[in-house]
Amino acid sequence: MAATKKTIATDGGKAPKKEAKPRSTSAKTKIKPIKVKVYKTVKKIEKEEKKEPVIEKEKPETFKAPWPPSLPERPETVEKVKTGSEKAPVTMRSLGIYKKIALSFIFLTLALLAVIFYFSFAKVFITITPSKERISNNVIADIYDAGKNAQAPDNSVAGAVRSFEVSDTKTFQSSGRDVIGGEAVGTATIYNHYNKNQPLVASTRLLTPDNKLFRTKETVDVPAGGSVEVEIYADNPAADLEVAPTRFTIPGLWAGLQDKIYGESKQTIKYEAQEKKFITEGDVDAGVADLKEDLLAKAKDQADSMFSDYNKVIYTIDNNSITTDVGGKVKDEKDEFPITMKASVVLVAFKDDRISEMCKNKLLESVPEGKQFADFNKDEIAYTLNDSHVDQGTATVNAACEGTVTMSDDSDVVDKGKLLGLTKEQVNDYLSSLPEISDFQVKFSPSFISKVPDLVDRIVININR
């Protein structure tokens, strides 16, 4: 018995292995369970369960493990040792967690794709048409007569500088008036419903219902049962004696006859002032100015035929050469009067190509910062003659020119930073407030986005020239 106990005690130790001797199977022999190997097997199974989550059934797990031959025969099945909790619920809970993690991953992936799509493809395209602003400048050009100057001065333009005489006579109306009187005249018909003729002497009084007095101009004899038409005039003419058609009584007749013998007017009696006309100083000045325009028109007709080789001709009348003959003096009582005028016309003709180029360059020099030159029409240049020396064949011409400018391509008129996060209506309001823009179009891409992206590089601005 002592030898047997000693062998069992040292079975798991470090002593050298010895051949097992047969043991007695008496009831007094104690058998220790081999717990170490059983636990190792359970842990291995748990590791495999973690790798493949399979729901276990209620049937106990069977396995075979090494069994010492000296021990009694082992049972065919051994229940899995539980370590504090059932494995089936843990496996179900793990599967739910995996599903949640997978769904969260899918959601985050879609959200990330949406963000990438938004920042990669969302754009706002703005096409603007700049407003045009007018700028002006002027150029002083020297014109020399090629026929009189063998050598042209520096920076001068070849042309013609000439003068010639023109004359004209015209009649003008006097506007001065002096009122020397007036008259209210008309006609009336005298009716006689009496059984005897009724003679009426010249200046017979006729009275209106509102007591305005008129008289007949001549003597008439109104037959019984008949009528006579007679001219009448106001006894004291004045502007308020214009009378509409009315009935006249004859105060000089017996009262019993006034309802049988009376007068009637069928037309309005008008007041006409009597006046005399005379020449005023304004009449003379207006006549001289009008005649100067006529002389210029004559000069143009002559110049166009004389200098057809040039496309620009400037005319001006030498005021020192004007001679005027007025057919009357101020205050003369005349209804009209004639004026004869003679003058020397200075004419400057040239080709405008070089001057228009000078004007364009001058305008380019005056383009403000942040602007760029738009256009220029040489036909809109206004020429005036500053000075002339016909005997020397030279003249100085002033060319007033205008052009238009618009904002430059690199202009920062549109502040992209102010557009971030705005709706299309807000963008329209902002662009409408800029005076430098005359028209614009706003396009969101893709069309379903409703606000400007929060990155300035997603805003594309095109300028429509």
pLDDT per position in the chain (465 positions), as tens?
Answer: 333 433 333 344 444 444 444 444 444 445 555 444 444 444 454 555 445 454 444 444 444 555 555 555 555 544 444 444 444 455 666 777 877 788 888 888 887 776 666 666 688 999 999 888 999 999 999 999 877 765 666 778 888 898 889 899 999 999 888 877 778 889 999 999 999 999 999 999 999 999 899 999 999 999 999 999 999 998 888 777 788 999 999 999 988 899 999 999 999 988 887 778 899 999 999 998 899 888 888 888 887 777 778 889 888 888 888 899 999 888 888 889 999 999 888 889 999 999 999 999 999 999 988 888 989 999 899 999 999 888 888 899 999 999 999 988 777 888 989 999 999 999 999 999 998 888 999 999 888 888 998 888 889 988 887
Residues 254 and 183 in one domain: yes
Separation CA 15–CA 17 (nearest Å): 6
Query: Residue 280 contacts by C-beta under 8 Å, 6 or more apart in sequence?
Result: 174, 175, 176, 330, 331
**Domain boundary residue among 257, 277, 297?**
277
Same-domain pairing of 306 and 214: no
Residues 247 and 288 in one domain: no
Q: Give the whole-angstrom CA distance, residue 139 versus residue 58.
A: 110
Token pair for 317: 């009348």
Domain assignment of residue 406, yes or no: no
Residues of the domain holding 198: 176-277
- Distance between CA atoms of 159 and 292, rounded to whole angstroms? 25
Is 296 in the same domain as 319? Answer: yes
Same domain for 86 and 101: yes
Nearest to 403 by CA among 438, 364, 375, 365: 375
DSSP single-letter state for residue 132: P
CATH code for the domain in which residue 224 is found: 2.40.30
Q: Could you say which of 323, 350, 377 is where a domain stops?
A: 350
The answer to whether residue 307 is domain-embedded is yes
Answer yes or no: is 381 within a domain.
no
Q: What is the C-alpha separation between 225 and 104, in angstroms, rounded?
A: 126
Q: How far is it, in rounded angstroms, from Cα 47 to Cα 38?
A: 15
CB 459 within 8 A of CB 416: yes
pLDDT tens sequence across 227-247: 999 999 988 887 777 889 999
SS (H, E, C) 324-350: EEECCCCCCCCCEEEEEEEEEEEEEEE
Please tell me what DSSP assigns to residue 130. E
Q: H or E element: which one contains 143?
A: strand 133-145
Q: Is residue 231 part of a domain?
A: yes
Domain boundary among 311, 335, 350: 350
Are both 182 and 266 inside the same structural domain? yes
Q: Are residues 61 and 112 in the same domain?
A: yes
Distance, CA of 237 to chain centre? 64
Tell me if 363 is assigned to some domain.
Answer: no
Residue 423 belongs to a domain: no
Strand-pair partners of 276: 178
Q: Is 391 inside a domain boundary?
A: no
The candidate with the shortest Cα–Cα distance to 137, out of 437, 451, 405, 365, is 365
State how many domains the chain has: 3
Gap between the Cα atoms of 272 and 263, Å rounded: 22
Q: Are 217 and 234 in contact (CB under 8 A)?
A: no
Query: For residues 254 and 240, what is the distance between their CA atoms, to the nearest angstrom?
Result: 30
pTM more than 0.85: no
- Asked if residue 64 and residue 90 are part of one domain, the reply reads yes
Verify that 290 and 267 share a domain, yes or no. Answer: no
| Count of CB atoms situated within 10 Å of the CB of 192 | 21
How many of the other CB atoms lie within 10 Å of CB of 283? 23
Chain centre distance of CA 339 = 53
Q: How far apart are CA 300 and CA 313, in angstroms?
A: 8
Together in a domain, 341 and 265: no
Single-letter residue type at 369: E
Q: Is residue 370 part of a domain?
A: no
Output the pLDDT for position 87: 47
